[in-house]
Amino acid sequence: MTLKNIKIRLFRQFVVLIFFISLLSGCEEGDGTGVILAGIAVGAAVGLQDVITDDDDGESSTSTETEGEAEETTEPESSTETEGDDEEPIEELVPLEIKMLKYDGINDDLLTAGLGQTGLMDEAPAAVDLINPTAAEIRKATIVNQYQASQDMRISAGYGELYGSAVPTPFATPSNNGKVKGKEYIAYARGKKNVTMMVQLPDSFDPENPCIVAAPSPGSRGVYGAIGIAGEWGVKNHCAVAYTDKGTGNGVHDLNTNTVNLIDGTRATTAGNFKAEGTSEMDLAAHNSTYPFRIAQKHAHSQQNPEVHWGTNVLDAIAFAFEVLNMEDSFGQKGTLVSTFIPANTIVIASSVSSGGAASLRATEQDSEDLIDGVVVAAPMINPKPFSDGEGVTIEQGDKTFPYKKLDRKSLFDVLTYYNVFQPCANGNIEMLGRCTALKNKGWLSSSTRAEQIAEAQALLNNYGTLASSNTHNYEDYYAGFAYLYANAYGRFSVVKNLCGYSYAATIEDNPPSAKMLSDLADDFQSSNGMPPSSGTYLINNHGNNEEGINFRHSVDINGNLDGYLEGALCLRRLATGTTGVTINTGNPLTGMELRDYQLVQEGIKSVLAHGNLQGKPAIIVHGRDDAVAHVNFTSRLYYGLNNKENKNNKLVYIEVKNTGHFDNFNEDDNVPLHYYFSQAMDRMYDHLKNEVDLPESQVIPTLPTATNLEIRLPKIGSDEICPITFSKDVLTIPEC
């Protein structure tokens, strides 16, 4: 594209933006809510500093702000214009419908929904009408539930003292109740109906020290999913926070009632956050007749493989935040095309945890506009690409060695489907011990006694490359959920595929699926993590109860063993191996439809691999050693090795925390909060970007959960107690510490 075309496009986008912004000036606050139909082009014009004088004959549409319910407006059709046969088309601006809400910091606020730091510990408040909750009631309950899903809320663990919305940080002193006054802007990403973005702009935003924190949702959670993680740090530290659900957040299509979630969590029969589609072989009506009461979820069934776009989604959200900051009712300059805030004068930190952390790493790899200044992520669900040479890297931890050569690298899907087969036996959970017997009968275990089978299953997992400290977590629901969800997402399969005989539905104990109650459907947006089993929706084995379906945990094999639907787990495993065995060197090659499904899943995985080049930007990864979901050897350790081996200009710091795992809300007395270290890492990154203070070195932090002394129990990043992590001659050395 020529410079002139770029200028014309940016000029058009900014003219329309300023036009719409001018219409907003003078609007009354009213009840604190409003809808803005603004011509904001996400990702465009954030760096425009000079007035461009090219002629423009394009048309623009009007915008409105209303009190109460949103006013529906038809968006203008997009068009293209070319300048000569060899020019790229000029993209016309398509307005975004943005809902803006104002919070007084007393009755309601950005961070705690008006409940304050202590109130977030309580059960989420119930709606007056459980079947028809208001958007405000949904938001309040969502914030409480998402906070509790991301933080260890026990006072004994440090909530309210070491972390929390009212806890001071090195760069901010929040209110004594943790409430934050400000505005909230929410919209679908331009041209991406399945992606929700949100910007929180606190009134305490400091225009003299502008900053933006990107907070993509972890897991399959909705747009508020990172509010208790990166959102808390950002709002407390007077930054704008750019959220995105990255195309995976709560979108529940109940096929029985044909209702879906809208952007604010309310439900309707119209197109909304996500609506499932059938196939040419089976439409939804035929599916409902054969498999009644089933439910589709956005991450699993959007047929878009959302992970491909996670990086772009984060960049879009950051650009949206710049647009919000430059609105006239924020900090924009009236009657001029000069942006007040641009990437060059604003600190931008991409952050979050789990798959949200992976999204921020991918965004930094893809950041061609130099929007991002630094990265801080925790427990990223990242899929590093294979090494460019055959040597790869070797990970050494104490007397254990884990070689990862080019052909040894395993995707997260590979690891999780392997765990999904063996971990229900390995963890010794009495409710799933029938899996041990079933594996023995299938020939995948050779031991005879139950104790020997558990030990054998644990050895198989650790020989696959995972750590013994991740063996015994009772995560069988999560492994099955992850395996089924990601198989569908990577393969872009429709809900009617019923992949490997699975589906989603409400059910009670070992009964067949039943209609999900309307009150439970109304509650999904606020309480679900977007990946069943969750909020009354379960993973179903369609073949149970004489083909009517059964909760997979209640499945029994032909010998009467309570095996957790081993046949389904083995089917999902075949999509990782391409064989009928549980490893690539066992069984026979797949054929027919199974082979095609395997190929589609593998194509999906290849399209999401991270290359490890963070373009020389400073970054910190914090990860719990005992993580039983994003196993360190296959995620952060491997990504750190890839970054060091294949990039000369690397500024990546890796911090591994002992005695903690993936989910802080699952913590017990022998766990420490990973969030405590994520917040410290954010402080260190901000200090580095603002004050040029050196980043910490890569290190293992030897926490001691039983210690009463805080400095011994939770040594700070960079303290004298840490143990350095080193990388030399393709060997990553992780001290036991």
| Alpha carbon distance 112, 145 (integer Å) | 11
Which secondary-structure segment (H or E) carries 350? strand 347-350
3-class DSSP state for residue 492?
coil
Pair 505, 295: CB distance under 8 Å: yes
Choosing from 302, 339, 354, 679, the catalytic residue is: 354
Helix axis angle for 566-577 and 434-442, nearest 10°, is 60
Give the largest Cα separation in the chain, rounded: 82
* CA proximity to 273, closest of 250, 304, 301, 296: 250
The amino acid present at 413, given as its one-letter code, is F
- Beta bridge pairs of residue 656: 623, 700
Pairing of strands 393-397, 731-734: parallel
Distance CA 566, CA 571 (A): 8
Angle at 149 between CA 143 and CA 152, to 5 degrees: 115
Candidates 95, 97, 148; CA nearest to 119 is 148
Quick check: is 534 catalytic?
Answer: no
User: Which one-letter DSSP state was computed for residue 344?
Assistant: G
β-pairing verdict for 619-624 and 652-657: parallel
Q: What gap in Å lies between CA 607 and CA 612, rounded to an integer?
A: 14
Rounded Cα–Cα distance for residues 685 and 709 (Å): 27
Q: For residue 120, give Cα distances in angstroms to 114, 124, 223, 352, 531.
A: 9, 8, 18, 20, 23
User: Could you give the CA distance from residue 595 to residue 591 in angstroms, rounded to a whole number?
Assistant: 5
Torsional sign, CA 685, 686, 690, 696:
negative
Residue 264 CA: distances (Å) to CA of 188, 273, 304: 11, 9, 22
Q: Are 389 and 552 in contact (CB under 8 A)?
A: no
Neighbours of 56 (CB within 10 A): 14
Strand partners, 33: 101
Q: 252: closest CA among 272, 282, 227, 223?
A: 272
The letter for the amino acid at 115 is L
716: left (phi over 0), alpha (psi -120 to 50) or beta: beta
Backbone angles phi, psi at 701, to 5 degrees: -105, 115
First to last CA, the chain: 54
Catalytically active residues, by annotation: 354
